Amino acid sequence: MTTPTHLSTAARLVTDFASSGARLSDRADLARFLREHRLATDGAMPITLGDLEEALTLRDAIRVVLTHGPEPASDADAEAIARGQRVLDGLRVTVRLLPDADSVSPLAPAVVDEVRRGLARIAGAWAAVLATGEWRDLRL
């Protein structure tokens, strides 16, 4: 008998984001993903093509790490990770002394733009799974 693995909230978010594939192919899909995962509020959310590109770049980088581990399998993988790191470097997050009860990470967005707040929450979830080592158990 195997013991079932229960993923943390952060791990579920990271897995859903990384495995979104064709479900995340345009701006409407990104808005839907952010709302469904409670990363953005309901209502109008202007999403630029740049926002979509950042989301897809971050998703691709996380997929590479989850698929190949810390050592990229190719130059293309290394470049995907580098591009994803640039997206993360551009997101502003802050650490909360007391995170909200429904928070996936003690890291919280420190930006006003709703789309970037959603991406910052995904970044916080990624930081949580990295810190716990749970990322090694995630499967796409």
Residue boundaries of the structural domains of the chain: 9-134
C-beta separation of 105 from 128 below 8 A: yes
C-beta separation of 111 from 37 below 8 A: no
C-beta separation of 123 from 90 below 8 A: no
Report the pLDDT value the prediction gives residue 1, as an integer from 0 to 100: 39
Its pTM surpasses 0.75: yes
Q: Which amino acid is at 129?
A: V
pLDDT in tens, the chain (140 residues): 344 468 999 999 999 999 998 899 999 999 999 999 999 888 778 899 999 999 999 999 999 999 998 888 899 999 999 999 999 999 988 887 876 766 667 777 777 788 988 999 999 999 999 999 999 999 88
